[in-house]
Structure 1
Amino acid sequence: MGDTSFARVRLLADQLDLPVHLHLHETAQEISDSLREHGQRPLARLQRMGLLNDRLIAVHMTQLTEAEIAQCAQAGVSVVHCPESNLKLASGFCPAEALRRGGVNLAIGTDGCASNNDLDMFGEMRSAALLAKGVSGDASAMDAASTLHAATLGGARALGLDARIGSIVPGKRADLIAVRMDALETQPLYHIVSQLVYATPRSQVSDAWIDGRALLRDGALTTLERDVLLRRARHWRQRIATI
């Protein structure tokens, strides 16, 4: 994106008080291209454009120096870690534990279907926790509690919604899920947070509420018809196959 476009993005974000969501420092090629075309790494360029602030949601961030991590922490940038997409595309490894320890708000995401496939947040939590240990060489990196925090309150904070959602406290909206822990995979219960991160599949989510409205009840969708969805999916698959 050119400087003129970034200037327009900044103007709109300032005028409308909106966050800026940007895939950033995703690959080594992106860094090389930025240095060749603009003479700066992408983060330095965003700082020059006035976009490095607490409204920036930086997705991926696999190519970071220690100085850039400190820069993000100081500016209040939120980083969205998408471990399975980065693995599938061989983009690199987000230094999640270094970001967390450096004071950067860390969230967990999936990226899109083309580079993730199943959009499974339970799978992303497990991958994020395991990958951080392999990357850092530290078995205590991204412990279960930190990983669950990133997947919940960290994401809410990145969106500027942490006063309303992201944790179960009085006064916040009821954006919740219920998870069955009586399956064989999660028995016996000994450390529920650890088992949520490392052992629980998304198939054990039994109920989901958005602002108190039940969208999933005892494993069944309440606002969508499964058979209709499947028919539409097959229809569009056939349409796309003929293009």
Structure 2
Amino acid sequence: MLDERLIAVHCHGATPEERARIADRGARVIGCPSSIAAIDGIVGPITEFLEEGTTVGLGTDQAPGSGGHEMLRELRTASLLSKTDRGDPTSLPAWKALDLGTVGGARALGLADRVGTIEVGKRANLAVFPLDTPSVASAVGEPLHTAVPNLVYGGARAETVLVDGQPVFLDGKFTALDGRAILEEANERARALFGRASEDWRKAGSKLVSDVEAGWL
């Protein structure tokens, strides 16, 4: 099972020997730093896997709460947790985090020949971020290069997204979807699902139930 076909998620319990074996066998790893930090209170070994030469990408573990689907937030979380965990401000710099969120993810999914970088022959999957917003400005090129760090750490929001060259999000609005209607339906479905499952969930008596009752979640 442990070969280049495996995409392993989290792997935060892997020992150094196991991480080396994963790298040696060519398996790929996806880290979900926000989710694991919030749920387990630990820093996932993203940096350690990178040091082993493992192909690493970043993901999110769930839609709501600590998972979210904000990729720039995951880049920021991964970078800051690595720095804090190691006591080293040079650990997992912003440019490397951005690499993980773009071509790193493409490599991890085996799609690097089609997406992940901007070059001739690849699909034009692009996200455009404004640099003149309060969270990103000011972006300068000399003597410091602040555009990438400000983008990764500042909490920017994409204003335009192209998938295969076609705009799906243009000037802050979806082109073919009703975003508000989708959110309303998602909330309705969630409430209905939780309502149906609530009694059985409480009967399970797991630690999660007691933690929720205590106000932790």
Bin of the TM-score, shorter chain as denominator length: 0.7 to 0.9
Question: C-alpha separation between the residues in 2 aligned to 1:240 and 1:199?
Answer: 35
Question: C-alpha separation between the residues in 2 aligned to 1:86 and 1:231?
Answer: 28
Measured after TM superposition, the shift of residue 182 of structure 1 is 0.6
Question: C-alpha separation between the residues in 2 aligned to 1:200 and 1:186?
Answer: 8
Aligned pairs for 1:112-191 (under 5 A) are: 112-113=62-63, 116-190=66-140, 191=146
Identity rate, percent: 32
Structure 1: tracts of 5 or more residues without a match: 1-50
What's the TM-score once normalised by structure 1's chain length? 0.73
The alignment of Structure 1 onto Structure 2 pairs a total of residues equal to 191
Match of 2:23 in 1: 73
- Of 210, 213, 227, the residue aligned with 2:166 is 213
Secondary structure of the corresponding residue to residue 132 of structure 1: helix
Match of 1:11 in 2: none
Change (3 A) 1:183 1:131: same
Measured after TM superposition, the shift of residue 219 of structure 1 is 0.5
Q: Does residue 3 of structure 2 align to residue 53 of structure 1?
A: yes
Question: C-alpha separation between the residues in 1 aligned to 2:132 and 2:80?
Answer: 24
Retained in 2: the 8 A contact 1:95–1:135? no
Measured after TM superposition, the shift of residue 78 of structure 1 is 1.1
Match of 1:108 in 2: 58
Q: Does residue 17 of structure 2 align to residue 64 of structure 1?
A: no
Question: C-alpha separation between the residues in 1 aligned to 2:195 and 2:52?
Answer: 50
Root mean square deviation of aligned Cα: 1.7
What's the TM-score once normalised by structure 2's chain length? 0.82
Match of 2:176 in 1: 223
Question: C-alpha separation between the residues in 1 aligned to 2:17 and 2:191?
Answer: 49
Q: Does residue 48 of structure 2 align to residue 98 of structure 1?
A: yes
Secondary structure of the corresponding residue to residue 214 of structure 1: strand
Q: Kindly report structure 1 stretches of 4+ aligned residues shifted beyond 3 Å.
A: none
Secondary structure of the corresponding residue to residue 186 of structure 1: coil
Measured after TM superposition, the shift of residue 226 of structure 1 is 2.6
Retained in 2: the 8 A contact 1:174–1:211? yes
Retained in 1: the 8 A contact 2:34–2:77? yes
